[in-house]
Structure formats: structure tokens, C-alpha cells
Chains A and B, each alone.
Chain A
Amino acid sequence: MSGDYIDQRHVEGAQLRRMRLVSLFEGTTLVVLVGVAVPLKHLAGYPTATAIMGPIHGVAFLIYVWMVINTVSGGDWTKGEILRLLAAAFIPFGAFMNVRFLRQREEALAVPVGTADETRL
């Protein structure tokens, strides 16, 4: 069965890339909702914009939170890191800051075997 074992770094790297994509998606929908749809509703009297973007952002938020739960369940994450990932979903542009954090973590996975960082994942 040893041939079936999967490289943990490869699996986690793929998960972090998916997490980054979802983070970007969630962040973009929040910015469009707050920056475009809400002003259109209140300043231009166009409520359809929020009626469309509201549910889209709602689904994006659920996907994001689900991905956070999935990602932290599969790796070694500190409570602070988990809180940071969750808090980013509530702050406009927070998800974009998350992308850098996730990229750093992904890069840490690529550190050669034998260094201290590898023990984190």
C-alpha cells in the first residue's frame, strides 16, 4: 500500500492555493457589494444591485468559512492564525491581505527537508 501514500506537502500546497482563490473570490464580492452595490442602492436608487450582490456575497462567505474549516482541519494551524483567517472575511480588503499570508505559508512548505519550518505542517 505504500505506493498509495500522498506527499503531504503537495496536498497542503494544493489546498492553500484553493484557499487563496476562494479568499480572492470572497474579498472581491465583498468589495463589489460595499463599494458598488450599496452606493448604487442608496445614492442612485438602484436596489437591484444589492439584491443581486447580497446573495452572491452570502454564498461566497459560506464557501470561504467552509474552506477555512477544511484547511485548518487538515494542517497544523495556531488559534491566532485561524482567528486571522476568519476575521479577514469580515473586513473589506481583509481577504486580500490573507492572500499574502497564505502565499507565505505555501512558500514555507517548499522549504527543503531538514529545516525547522517543515515541522509546522
Chain B
Amino acid sequence: MSYLWIKAFHLAAAMTWIGGMLLLSVVLMALASSGPGADRNMHLIRMARTWDARVTTPAMLIVWVLGLVMALQAGWFSAPWLWVKLVIVVILSAMHGIQSGTLRRLAGDPSRSPPAFLRLAAPAVVAAVVAIAILAITKPL
């Protein structure tokens, strides 16, 4: 598969992944503000979990695999910008794992509350995306 095709699917998967993470961020913020044990919309939690399992998480895997293929093909592993980008992607992935696990816990135990730091997830995701876009397009380092 040519570089441009891989790049196209990598970008499509990245947009899907980030969209899913923002969705999780908003859902978890809404659940945190409703308070533990409140009359939570369990149907919303279930829908968000289903979307995460069927769309967001596979999109993240595609981002990793195609990103790795592109970096290997282009010989970017010696470039500092790629390593900075990789660190940000790993942090984003970890945040996604925490969001996904937290939602699973809330699905079974509505008396719990999401961790407080997840309230900052949405702005953190947006900041990470801006940094990644700058690094990937301008390759400043």
C-alpha cells in the first residue's frame, strides 16, 4: 500500500479515535457533575461503552499500526519530532484507557464517581491534538 493511502487511513482513524475520546470526556464530565448514586442515564453509559468498544478502540489500534508502518517506511525513528509525538500519543492512549475503564466501572456501580482529573480530559485531548498536528505537519525538530 502506498504512503499516501496509509496516511489517509491513519488520519481517518486518528480523527475517529479523537472524536471518540472527546465523546467519552463529555459523558464522564456529565456523570461527574450528576454526583454518585444520582439518577444516572444508564442507557447513555451503555451506548458510550458500545461506541468505545466497537469504534474508538479499534480506531486507536489502527492509528498505532499505520503510524508505525509510516514511520518505518519513511525512516522517521531518528527524528526527535516523532519521539515527542509518540510520547503525546502514549499519554493520549493511557488517558483513553482510564476513561474506558472508568466508564466500565460506572456501568456496574453507579454509586461511584469518575476520578476528578478526568474533568480536564477534554481540554487535554484538544491540546494534545494541536501539538500532534504541529509536530506532524511542520516537523520542527
A58 close to chain B: CB less than 8 A? yes
Residues of A contacting B108 in the complex (Cβ-Cβ under 8 angstroms): 5-8, 11-12
Which residues of chain B have a CB within 8 Å of any CB of chain A? 39-43, 45-46, 60-61, 64-65, 68-69, 72, 90, 93-94, 96-102, 104-105, 107-110
Instruction: State the Cβ distance, B57 to closest chain A Cβ, in Å.
Output: 9
A73 close to chain B: CB less than 8 A? yes
Contact B46 A59 (CB under 8 A): no
With A4-B46, A6-B46, A66-B94 in contact, do A73 and B105 touch (Cβ < 8 Å)? yes
How many of chain A's residues touch chain B, expressed as a range?
20 to 34
Contact A11 B107 (CB under 8 A): yes
With A1-B39, A1-B40 in contact, do A74 and B68 touch (Cβ < 8 Å)? no
Residues of A contacting B41 in the complex (Cβ-Cβ under 8 angstroms): 1
Contact B65 A4 (CB under 8 A): no
Inter-chain CA distance A72–B115, complex, in Å, is 13
- Main secondary structure on A side of the interface with B: helix
- Mark contacts of A68-88 with chain B using CB atoms, 8 A cut-off: 1 yes-contact digit, 0 otherwise: 111111110000000000000
With A5-B110, A66-B94 in contact, do A55 and B68 touch (Cβ < 8 Å)? yes
Instruction: State the Cβ distance, A73 to closest chain B Cβ, in Å.
Output: 3
A28 close to chain B: CB less than 8 A? no
Residues of B contacting A12 in the complex (Cβ-Cβ under 8 angstroms): 104, 108
Inter-chain CA distance A6–B140, complex, in Å, is 48
A63 close to chain B: CB less than 8 A? yes
Residues of A contacting B72 in the complex (Cβ-Cβ under 8 angstroms): 55
Inter-chain CA distance A8–B42, complex, in Å, is 13
Contact B68 A75 (CB under 8 A): no
Contact B110 A59 (CB under 8 A): no
Q: 6 tightest A-B contacts by CB?
A: A73-B101, A8-B108, A4-B42, A69-B97, A74-B101, A74-B104
A111 close to chain B: CB less than 8 A? no
A21 close to chain B: CB less than 8 A? no
